[in-house]
Amino acid sequence: MGAISRMITGHAGEEEAEKVLKKNGYRIIERNYRCRFGEIDIIARDGKTLVFVEVKTRGNSNFGTPQCGVDLKKQRHIIVASSCYMAEKRIADTDVRFDVVSVLKSGETLSAELIKDAFEAREL
């Protein structure tokens, strides 16, 4: 899969993830937040909880499920980027959670799975 094809698949995956999150009652605050430490695909509220969501999309499961792509290195980048976001927005004393939306593309069909509390902010 070429770079442009991956970008199109990734964008479609994020659109599908946003639908799943909204269907589950999340309120989307921001998409594709970037800082010098990394990117967070979607930032949302689930009730009073601030949720940082990583979206992983794959065209097939030959190399494992999409959520397998959220390894310790990726988790570390998300955690640091989430700290930057909270500092930048002056957010403190709020519950925080890290979710993953796993999107698998089969032909033109996308299937998404929401994994709440996929990992924790801890010393990695």
The residue ranges of DSSP E strands in the chain, in sequence order, are: 27-35, 38-46, 49-58, 96-106, 109-119
Whole-Å CA distances, 28 to 1, 43, 114: 30, 6, 15
pLDDT band at 9 (very low <50, low <70, confident <90, very high): low
Task: Render pLDDT for 78-116 as a digit per residue (tens, 0 to 9).
Answer: 999 999 999 999 999 999 999 999 998 877 788 899 999
Q: Which CATH fold topology does 3-119 show?
A: Trna Endonuclease; Chain: A, domain 1 (3.40.1350)
pTM: 0.89
How far, in Å, CA of 41 to CA of 73, rounded? Answer: 16
Backbone angles phi, psi at 107, to 5 degrees: 65, -120
Task: Render pLDDT for 31-83 as a digit per residue (tens, 0 to 9).
Answer: 999 999 999 999 999 999 999 999 998 876 666 666 767 888 999 999 999 99
Parse the chain into domains and list their residue ranges.
Answer: 3-119
